[in-house]
Amino acid sequence: MAFCKNCGQELPVDAKACPNCGTDVEQPTAAPAAAPAAPAADAKDNMWMAVLAYLGILVLIPLLVEPAKNSPFVRFHANQGLILLIVGLLSAIPVLGCVVGVFCLVLTIMGIINAVNGRMKELPLIGRFRLLK
């Protein structure tokens, strides 16, 4: 129950002004909106979805499955997994493909390690690109 800070009159719920003396009632600051899921919890709950993002075409699972696809943590890793999948297609090129393949493999392992550890760390070279919003 709120009371007028001027005269002490008990105030009706939602009163804009004191019915006794007319003093404006200070509205209690609105309760902060539900805090977004702590990144730590997000990362913990969605760790395996983030790992899937690096396993080739399995990236479609974290991209399409609710609620994982709404997780910033999962989307971050799905973005990188998708880029690795596309870059990985270049490994079909003779000679150069070997280099690309090794490069993708190393980045894939780094990405999985980041996902398992709950980190949203950009991978070298490809991490800056954003295919997903």
SS3 breakdown of the chain: % helix, strand, coil, rounded to 5? Answer: 50, 5, 45
Enumerate residues 6+ apart whose C-beta is below 8 A from 116: 47, 51
In angstroms, give the least distance from the CB of 30 to Zn ion.
Answer: 23
Under the binding rule (CB under 5 A), the answer on residue 117 touching Zn ion is no
Stretch of residues binding Zn ion (CB under 5 A), selected from 15-23, 45-53, 63-71, 74-82 = 15-23
Three-class SS state of 53: coil
Nearer to Zn ion by Cβ, of 25 and 83: the residue is 25
Q: Provide the sign of the torsion angle of the four alpha carbons 83, 76, 49, 118, taken in this order.
A: positive
Under the binding rule (CB under 5 A), the answer on residue 21 touching Zn ion is yes
Under the binding rule (CB under 5 A), the answer on residue 11 touching Zn ion is no
Q: Which residues of this chain interact with Zn ion, rule CB under 5 A?
A: 4, 6-7, 9, 18, 20-21, 23
